[in-house]
A and B are shown apart, each in its own frame.
Chain A
Amino acid sequence: MSVNSLDNPFSKDSDLSHGAGCGCGSCSPMASNKDRVKELPQGEEEIVNRVVETAVVKAMFGDNDMKRRQFIRAVGEKAFKGALLAALPMGLLQSCFNETKKKVENGGATAKGASKLEKTKLNIGFVPITCATPIIMSKPLGFYEKYGLDVDVIKTAGWAVARDKSLNEEYDASHMLTPMPLAMTMGAGSTQASYVMPAVENINGQAICLHLKHKDKRDPKMWKGFKFGVPFEYSMHNFLLRYYVAEFGLDPDKDIQIRVVPPPEMVANLKAGNLDGYLSPDPFNQRAVYENVGFLHMLTKDIWEGHPCCAFACSQKFVDTNPNTYAALFSAIIDATQYSSKLENRQQISEAISPKNYLNQPTSVVAQVLTGKYADGLGNVLNVPDRIDFDPFPWHSMGVWILTQMKRWGYVTEDFDYKKIAEQVYLATDCAKKMKEQGYEAPSSTYKKHIIMGKEFDPNTPEAYLDSFAIKKTIS
């Protein structure tokens, strides 16, 4: 290796015009100036640091070494170095190179993804609910850091804002509801923008919560005239609530009123009597119990065992322009989701995500949701370990089911190819590949039949499924 190419770029005496492959006499380590060899960086890390510094300094002077030396002579070595270090995140650049190098050498799952992170500083939005657990906890528990990402997780007031901030590119990626990327891609209730959903966050984990005054009205047939809250129109909450009441013969558009209420405002609205109940994400169901305002009528896992709820989503544009960053982020999310699905980690996670910076809830409430040992508000302590679970795999069949419900309730009216949209937005194949790469088990197919309240859903016949419902929105 050439000696001069590793010379101190901040020195007025060094000569950087000798390249790495320079064969001239003064470049040989054996040459006359042996003392100088000692000043050269030792060890790989130092060499990388030096190479980065040199590249930056060279670039500043357009690779003109004369100019560089003249300039340094004029301002002084120390002043030059100081000013440069103050203006540029040199340490960050260097550690980037070094870390990437290490990752590549280790041959870990991240090697390919982390090889050139286009962007390390990311903003990821979340709505403060337990569904977002993997996205949130990756920050305090260091999952993003592990993949070389410096992520800020930003709390968002509701899903309409999360959608807008994602569309505005204020967020690089965001916590969303599983129907949202489908709706956005179709341009339903939003401007059309191609979104992808590489991973589901949680399955189950929602509940129907009613005001305590309705303790005796456990039969949904008695709910005529009730006012229900759901967090967003394009949400599993909305579709599950509609499905549930329709199975009991109520038309959700006529017999009950469904209002969109951001999750954090649910408890206050229930307390104020603005709502009779809601199907909402936790911790707000459990919080209503904790505040002695409501009780848990049922968990959504009893409507559809293993239903998807929230998701990790970003724009197709983000994936295209930052493929490596996206891959690293995806890996972090998969790791975090798998970590969250282990019951023994849940207490620790509850403590990590309860503080003001994240969910801003009493730890006891969050822990009751995540561990599944909870008070139901009617005097019982229940133990349901799979009250909420985490599974990243975005089944295409789930996407198709969501699309059938969007059509059932008139959110989309035109005909479309269910499978095509589901496959475009839900990146099940990528997810399976990534899961296997990281040593987790992944399903081998992307479609399966689901059972919802005892009724089978076959993703191959969505239109027939749709026709089988007596209650739906009739398009006049």
Chain B
Amino acid sequence: MTEKNKAILLSISLFFLLIIVGEIVTGNGDRSKANMTEYEILMGMGEPEAHVPGPIEVGKLAIKELSHPFYDNGPNDKGIGLQLLYSIGRVMAGFFLAVIVALPVGFLIGMSPVFYKALQPYIQILKPVSPLAWMPLALFVIKDSIMSSVFVIFICSIWPMLINTAFGVMTVKKDWINVSKTLEMGSLETAIKILLPAALPTIFTGLRISMGISWLVIVAAEMLVGGTGIGYYVWNEWNNLDLTSVVFSILMIGFVGMVLDSLIAYTSGFFNYQE
């Protein structure tokens, strides 16, 4: 058996183990009994109480939700597919805004030691701030809850991009820059023809980290302001103590996060040069 097959086998058995253990340790919340008194009916004894769902229950809900993911029953009840699209849209908007700002600034910092030193304190102070701490300020200044969540994504994804771009540009081999100097290239030409290709793998690492963080943050941001998006979906189900839906959306969030990450990883594959 090859190593790959072993891994697949292990992965599959782990999956079944999780399902079985999950089924054993979770209950179904059933508390019904025969001949309920009026008090017991009002206490909801006929209905299952809030409980952590087993894998089969989650699976059933997943089939139900995924068979019509784009339904729209008004502003507060939309299908999981639509909610995910809202969230992805916000992440993309914030992410690409960040790219537009971070790449040029990153180049500037990477190419000029003066700028590097001058901007370093600001970056170091702003970088560790939890993106959600910006939320009240954003809501107040931008006066729009959707744009505020886009801004929060922007502000959280900009730092890894900025730092990685600067680092990538700084660590380009001096020989290559010297060659460009002998060819009498201007700094813009050097940046585009030499630094950009050489720094791309590092830049992509930054993008990948940023995308990961953005996807983490959007859920929290949407739980805070509500309206639409996967974060709102989680909040709305929590509202009703419907943990089955919560577990299902956790899985969906994980799945989409994985897809987003592999998309960037796949794209970066085109820019990896062997020396």
A306 at interface, CB cutoff 8 A: no
Q: In the bound complex, how far is the Cα of B143 from the Cα of A128, in angstroms?
A: 23
B241 at interface, CB cutoff 8 A: yes
Whether A356 lies near B241 (C-beta < 8 A) is no
Whether A268 lies near B241 (C-beta < 8 A) is yes
> Known: A168-B139, A381-B38. Contact between A360 and B43, CB under 8 A?
no
Most B CB atoms within 10 A — which of A152, A360, A362? A360
Whether B240 lies near A361 (C-beta < 8 A) is yes
A223 at interface, CB cutoff 8 A: no
Whether A356 lies near B42 (C-beta < 8 A) is no
Whether A161 lies near B44 (C-beta < 8 A) is no
B34-64, CB < 8 A from A: 38-39, 41-44, 47, 49-50
Whether A155 lies near B236 (C-beta < 8 A) is yes
Q: In the bound complex, how far is the Cα of B77 from the Cα of A358, in angstroms?
A: 8
Q: In the bound complex, how far is the Cα of B74 from the Cα of A312, in angstroms?
A: 21
Q: In the bound complex, how far is the Cα of B224 from the Cα of A165, in angstroms?
A: 12
List B contacts of A154 (CB < 8 A). 75-76, 227
Chain A proximity mask over B259-275: 1 for CB below 8 Å, otherwise 0:
00000000000000000
Instruction: Pick the residue among B75, B143, B236 that contacts A168 (CB under 8 A).
Output: B143
Most A CB atoms within 10 A — which of B139, B236, B239, B241? B239
A275 CB to closest chain B CB, in angstroms? Answer: 15
Whether A157 lies near B226 (C-beta < 8 A) is yes
A244 at interface, CB cutoff 8 A: no
Q: In the bound complex, how far is the Cα of B42 from the Cα of A164, in angstroms?
A: 37
Instruction: Pick the residue among A265, A287, A379 that contacts B39 (CB under 8 A).
Output: A379
Instruction: Pick the residue among B38, B77, B145, B226 that contacts A356 (CB under 8 A).
Output: B77
B175 at interface, CB cutoff 8 A: no
- Among A48-56, A289-297, A332-340, the stretch in contact with B: A289-297
B140 at interface, CB cutoff 8 A: yes
Whether B76 lies near A169 (C-beta < 8 A) is no
Instruction: Pick the residue among A153, A156, A161, A164 that contacts B140 (CB under 8 A).
Output: A164
List B contacts of A191 (CB < 8 A). 140
Chain A residues with a Cβ closer than 8 Å to the other chain, count: 41
A181 CB to closest chain B CB, in angstroms? Answer: 19
Whether A155 lies near B139 (C-beta < 8 A) is no
B184 at interface, CB cutoff 8 A: no
A293 CB to closest chain B CB, in angstroms? Answer: 9
Whether A161 lies near B77 (C-beta < 8 A) is no
Most A CB atoms within 10 A — which of B42, B73, B237, B238? B42
B3 at interface, CB cutoff 8 A: no
Q: Who on chain A is nearest to B235 by CB?
A: A157
A267 at interface, CB cutoff 8 A: yes
Most A CB atoms within 10 A — which of B41, B49, B74, B226? B226
Residues of chain B at the chain A interface (Cβ within 8 Å): 38-39, 41-44, 47, 49-50, 73-77, 139-140, 143-145, 223-227, 235-241
Q: List 29 A-B contacts (CB under 8 A).
A: A153-B75, A153-B76, A154-B75, A154-B76, A155-B76, A155-B236, A161-B145, A161-B224, A164-B139, A164-B145, A168-B139, A168-B145, A170-B145, A265-B238, A267-B241, A290-B43, A290-B44, A290-B49, A291-B50, A355-B73, A356-B73, A356-B77, A360-B236, A361-B239, A361-B240, A362-B47, A362-B240, A364-B42, A379-B39
